[in-house]
Structure 1
Amino acid sequence: MLHAFCLILFFANFNCYLAKQWLSEGDSCVVNKTNENGICKFLSNCPSEQAKLKLNIHPTLCGFKGNNNMPIICCPEARPVIQTRQLGDIADEMCRNYSQYVFTEELSPLSIINAASIKIYQCPFEKLPLILGGNASERYEFPHMVQLGFGDKSRIKWACGGSLISEQHILTAGHCVNPENLGLVQYARMGFINVDDTENKQQFNIIERTVHPQYQAPSPYNDIAVLKLEKKPKLSLFLRPACLYNKREVPGHNAIVTGWGRQSEHGPESKVLLKTVLQYYNQSYCNSIFQRTITLRSEGIKEEQMICAGYESETRDACQGDSGGPLQIYSTREGYYMACMYDIIGVTSFGIGCGRSTKIPGVYARVSNYVKWIEDIVWPQ
């Protein structure tokens, strides 16, 4: 007999609903959040929802069957096999999966033995206007931020940044993989804002390094790389992947750059993650600054590969130690649970010093130009 309250689930903490009428096995259904059409099935007969459950993404409940009240879930209809996928399809789907980590689970307030837990939306920050300027980041604000380490494990040099983009992969700059005088990147730590915070910090060895095949130092073209961690970190509000922005044109006029780098060209590195809102510069102006430099020579700024961003009224900029870190915007994807996610639009690449002039922007690798290359490495299946 159905109760007014949600029935108890014996083997998983599914979402709980007050049901007016349960569906039966074989009935048509609609998957919550994605609005996909589906068929009501036992979980054991739905491999796609089994895989999502391992990511703590709970299926849509259809009803129950038998004396043991075995749950029946909404299994999405199989998608037709497409030989050529659309750019960013895989990254977008995974981004939506990772957004589930903005939810936390709490015990049901109902006084029922073994009552299912309740998922609560816990976005720890609000979308603030992208007003030019910079200051310290708030706790939880950039949960995808990663710091990269070099050298011997007994005295690691933390000298580059990166972004967690999957359960086991980091996006960074090509020149951060094997920088001069530091050697091969070996370590990654994440889950914190202040480097002295040990409560939620997680540190891992790096086991794979994939630099873009057309990157050739010291040239800054195609300055992008993907790193693989030895094992998967524990994802939570403190630590979860960001999304990859896959469109050529970037919305708005401003973006956020973050890092633990130097606060001035010859100053000390920051112990606290800093954020700065920058504005985009057009290609012609950027070329007038950088085309004369040795590394660019006659090729200049390639707009399809690069984004220029700086701060017009003050000398704010990415600096030494920020290389490889993200240039990001608030997610543009639909769905209220996506409001707590970021789209990575650029990877910090190079500049002329840092903060020398209000008229000299920094240059960032344009992520949308490399999305398929990234997908093939991170999600090859």
Structure 2
Amino acid sequence: MPAAYDPHTLIDARYRREGAGSPVVSLNERAILSLLWDRPDLTRSALGPRLDLTQQSIHRILAQLQERGLIRLGPLEPPSYKGKPSPRLLLNDRYTCTVGIVVNTDSAGVAVMDFAGGFEAVPLSIQDLSMEEALCRIEAAIAPLLARKGFREQDVFGIGFSIAGFLVEGTRYNPPEPLFEWSKQHLGPTLAERFGRPVWTENSANMSTLCERMLGVGREVANFAYLSFNYGFGGGVVLNGNLVRGGFGNAGEFSGMFTEHEWRDRPTMASLLASLASHGVKVNSIADLARDFDPAWPGVEAWLERAAPHHSRVINVLSSVIDPEVVVLGGQIPAALGEALIARTDIYTKPRYGILRRMPRLELSRIKGETGAIGAASLPLKEVFV
């Protein structure tokens, strides 16, 4: 195992504050950049109450960030109280960009994200392709996406890579059977050498969760859980605004709460495909299922009858253990199917002295498309800048 692999050591010197070996941003700079990511409407005068820094220090840090090109000043905003107008502070979308890649069992996705979170993403079919063939197809999709965002290959800060499956150690994952070839090596150093950029790796459910944290419900609430309905069933947890990875990097492996006997009735898209096939409905892939889903198909109701109790267990366990404000249903689940699961959720809590414990709100992900790739593209930004 290449235990020494650390993508931070591969970051180009031009991004560092003082050249090779120095950090990219200081802790105070990172605190400001994080605020600007979550609150793109912030003005310079509004930073003070949110930071344990003097106004003089804030102005100095902002000047340094602006000089390096990480932020720019927007229009003057009138104050909500007496005082002078203050400029809005904006992340500079042209400072750099990142690439995000997700590998699912029968599809892949590629995204390019600018420094302010704007992105372009495309889906790719990799069904029945070898790892090398899939990587060639992924690689070929990156240049056109960069061009559409107005970037060149040399503008890429780093790459986020995500794959279905749990973390074994380092950057080696244990994906479902269709991706067995990908399980044989540590993906971080392998892909960093191939692409010539630092590569951060994660499982795809965590990256869909990070996508929701960076661009979706995570901008409104600090504590939520994400359910990722794909070939398998997993998800992720965000507490106090941070993705929780756990002691072995596998927080969010929600399938672990089911016994072997219950395994086939988990709320997975693979089990839905099997249910449809047994009722005479042929759907070739999960990507086709997500695109063409019809709630009236024979086999859908049977799947809901089996899967809904297991889904309810997950919701109640999450509520009891981590107390999230929201549980988001995402991954590759069709919207109509997600709504049907929400409607069938059985909440176990009972009133005590006439008072019910507060339960999380259930909602479908608001982000459509390649959420794993979009989340992966935001991973280098989250790991280094925000």
What TM-score comes out, normalization by structure 2 length?
A: 0.26
More strand by share: 1
What TM-score comes out, normalization by structure 1 length?
A: 0.26
